[in-house]
């Protein structure tokens, strides 16, 4: 006992890699066998924490090999004792990528690498999951191909574990690795390559390439869905043939052109037991290709053939984004002209009711040509489109609007163009509109001007007054910009309006009510500013 390090005598819980375990998972743990023989006689070194973990779990999770050797030398521990999640010290070490601890537990202490946790995962599966959960740490600590630095390699090459074991969902290490590659799609390429090497290693060791999990899918199906051409190629090289049609259709449906090309490459290979990919899916593949390559002729042919575009893109916004990213203006023009990029009126954006959901993406146009086409093919919704652009995008895009003939004195839905800019854009855009002829006193459908708006930039008010905005103009309810500012609890805006010369006597403070969404303190403080201004200016 005296030889034990302090951290072993007073250990903390070894954290689980998977923090999303459910209570149901925990309840699946089998209760301890009350009839099991007690441990050998000796000091009681086998306390457990709230997670059911012993000091052996703590040492394994921290890669403390000397501590493991001293603890296990006392022969008072079951090396395969599970915690409440069914994880043995070996599984915890594998999850954390600790090669030395894994090797020590198996070689020196006889830990079982095929022992399963409550999810049915073996040490190899835990090693793969650990890399998914913390790829940065694994990339720093591990090197694929080196059994001294990679748990998966050591388990397969050194300890010859079963590469075709299945968890309770029928997932094998190969499928787990392919799905892990998908989770790393947003990571740098080095992490993706790391997983591709693990997949290659599993296949080389004899992993069943056509194994079907309990959802009826294979590794090829998952690889095609995530669009990894490299993994698809690798699986095909190792003889993947089952589920080929499903894989091809998933690649097509998700627009993964390279993976789709690889699966469609050999026409003879399509005549497997599942049959040839349907003509509809082939048309879908051609449509994806034409969008990506800007092939107007192929698109025209498919449209004339009557291809069902909705089966390819149920959401027109997704199709719009794909075409805009491709940068092919001619393709965009063709799809608009044929009504394929039809607009809908189900959204509210930028203060405009019924705005076309297609045009909510107009601000993402990468060139003025795209924007001009949008305005050209839907003049009815052009101002609504402009409202969104004024609300969310840059001066450059507003300049595109103006160059396309946009009416600076029109309405964006119910709001005046200049009012939208004052409320949602910066002073640069407001100044641009004024320079291009915007009337600072143009009112919207409720009689409000840009001075009534809740300015995004407080300097907008000064600019508007300098350009001739009327401080005493009243809306349809008889409220001046100062009155609207008070009701909105806008202290700073109220102060600026008074500073610019707004008449505090032209506001009926007694008739103003605090809206439910405004803090009463702000409302009352704004009213007090006006009372003070009245006293200073006299009756």
What residue spans define the domains of the chain?
Answer: 380-469, 471-539
Domains 380-469 and 471-539 are alike in CATH topology: yes
Residue-wise pLDDT for 242-287, tens only, equals: 777 778 778 877 767 777 777 777 544 544 444 556 677 777 778 8
Given a contact cutoff of 8 angstroms between Cβ atoms, the answer to whether 491 and 522 are in contact is: yes
Residues of the chain with pLDDT under 50: 1-44, 135-147, 184-190, 267-268, 270-274, 343-357
The pLDDT of residue 393 = 61
3-class secondary structure, 355: strand
- Whole-number Å distance between alpha carbons of 93 and 102: 6
What sections of 294-377 are H helices per DSSP?
A: 296-305, 309-312, 316-326, 329-337, 368-377
| Angle in degrees, CA 137, 142, 144, rounded to 5 | 130
The pair of structure tokens assigned to 513 is 């009510």
Instruction: Give the count of beta carbons closer than 10 Å to the beta carbon of residue 532.
Output: 12
Query: How far, in Å, are 364, 510, 513 from residue 531 at the CA level?
Result: 47, 11, 16
DSSP string covering 251-268: HHHTT-HHHHHHHHS-GG
| Burial of 50: CB neighbours in 10 Å, binned 0-12, 13-18, 19+ | exposed
Q: Which pLDDT belongs to residue 173?
A: 95
How many CB atoms within 10 Å of residue 284?
24
pLDDT of residue 73: 78
Helix/strand/coil for 352: strand
Architecture of domain 380-469: Alpha Horseshoe (1.25)
CB-based contacts of 527, cutoff 8 Å, min separation 6: 486, 509, 512
Three-state secondary structure string covering 26-66: HHCCCCCCCCCCCCCCCCCCCCCCCCCCCHHHHHHHCCCHH
The H or E element that residue 354 is part of is: strand 352-355
Contact 380, 411 (CB under 8 A): no
Comparing C-alpha atoms, which of 223, 128, 133 is closest to residue 176?
A: 128
Classify domain 471-539 by CATH number.
Answer: 1.25.40
Q: Which residues pair with 412 in a beta bridge?
A: 415
Do 412 and 350 meet the contact criterion of CB atoms below 8 Å apart?
yes
Unique residue bearing structure tokens 């119910």: 414
DSSP category for residue 425: S
Length of the chain measured in residues: 539
326, two tokens: 């491709």
Tell me the C-alpha distance between 111 and 104, whole Å. 9
Q: 512-523, pLDDT tens digit by residue?
A: 877 766 778 888
């Amino acid at each position: 006992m005296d030889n034990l390090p302090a951290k072993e005598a007073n250990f903390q819980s070894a954290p689980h890699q998977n923090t999303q375990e459910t209570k149901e998972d925990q309840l699946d743990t089998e209760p301890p066998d009350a009839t099991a023989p007690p441990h050998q006689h000796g000091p009681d070194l086998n306390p457990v924490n709230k997670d059911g973990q012993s000091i052996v779990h703590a040492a394994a999770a921290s890669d403390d090999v000397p501590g493991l050797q001293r603890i296990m030398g006392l022969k008072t521990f079951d090396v395969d004792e599970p915690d409440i999640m069914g994880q043995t010290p070996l599984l915890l070490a594998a999850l954390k990528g600790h090669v030395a601890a894994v090797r020590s537990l198996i070689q020196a202490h006889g830990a079982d690498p095929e022992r399963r946790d409550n999810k049915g995962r073996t040490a190899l599966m835990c090693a793969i999951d650990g890399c998914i959960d913390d790829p940065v740490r694994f990339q720093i600590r591990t090197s694929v191909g080196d059994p001294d630095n990679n748990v998966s390699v050591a388990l397969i090459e050194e300890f010859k574990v079963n590469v075709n074991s299945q968890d309770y969902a029928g997932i094998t290490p190969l499928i787990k690795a392919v799905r892990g590659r998908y989770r790393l799609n947003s990571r740098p390429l080095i992490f993706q390559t790391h997983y591709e090497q693990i997949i290659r290693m599993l296949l080389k060791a004899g992993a069943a390439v056509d194994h079907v999990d309990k959802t009826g899918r294979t590794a090829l199906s998952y690889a095609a869905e995530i669009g990894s051409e490299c993994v698809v190629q690798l699986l095909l090289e190792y003889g993947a043939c089952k589920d080929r049609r499903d894989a091809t259709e998933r690649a097509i449906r998700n627009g993964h052109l390279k993976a789709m090309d690889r699966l469609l490459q050999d026409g003879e290979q399509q005549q497997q037991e599942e049959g040839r990919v349907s003509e509809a899916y082939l048309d879908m593949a051609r449509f994806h290709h034409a969008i990506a390559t800007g092939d107007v002729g192929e698109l025209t042919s498919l449209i004339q053939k009557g291809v069902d575009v909705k089966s390819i893109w149920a959401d027109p916004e997704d199709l719009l984004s794909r075409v805009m990213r491709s940068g092919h203006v001619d393709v965009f023009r063709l799809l608009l002209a044929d009504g394929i990029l039809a607009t809908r009126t189900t959204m509210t954006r930028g203060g405009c009711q019924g705005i076309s959901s297609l045009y909510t993406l107009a601000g993402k146009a990468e060139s003025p040509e795209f924007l001009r086409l949008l305005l050209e093919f839907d003049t009815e919704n052009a101002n609504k489109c402009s409202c969104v652009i004024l609300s969310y995008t840059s001066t450059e895009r507003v300049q595109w609007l103006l160059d396309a003939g946009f009416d600076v004195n029109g309405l964006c839905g119910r709001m005046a163009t200049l009012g939208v800019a004052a409320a949602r854009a910066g002073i640069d855009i407001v100044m641009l509109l004024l320079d291009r002829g915007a009337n600072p006193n143009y009112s919207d459908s409720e009689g409000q001007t840009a001075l009534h708006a809740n300015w995004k930039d407080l300097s907008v008010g000064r600019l508007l007054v300098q350009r001739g905005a009327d401080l005493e103009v009243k809306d349809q309810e008889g409220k001046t910009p100062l009155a609207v500012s008070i009701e909105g609890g806008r202290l700073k805006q109220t102060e600026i309006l008074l500073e610019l010369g707004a008449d505090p006597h032209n506001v009926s403070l007694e008739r103003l009510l605090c809206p439910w969404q405004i803090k009463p303190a702000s409302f009352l403080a704004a009213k007090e500013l006006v009372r003070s201004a009245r006293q200073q200016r006299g009756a």
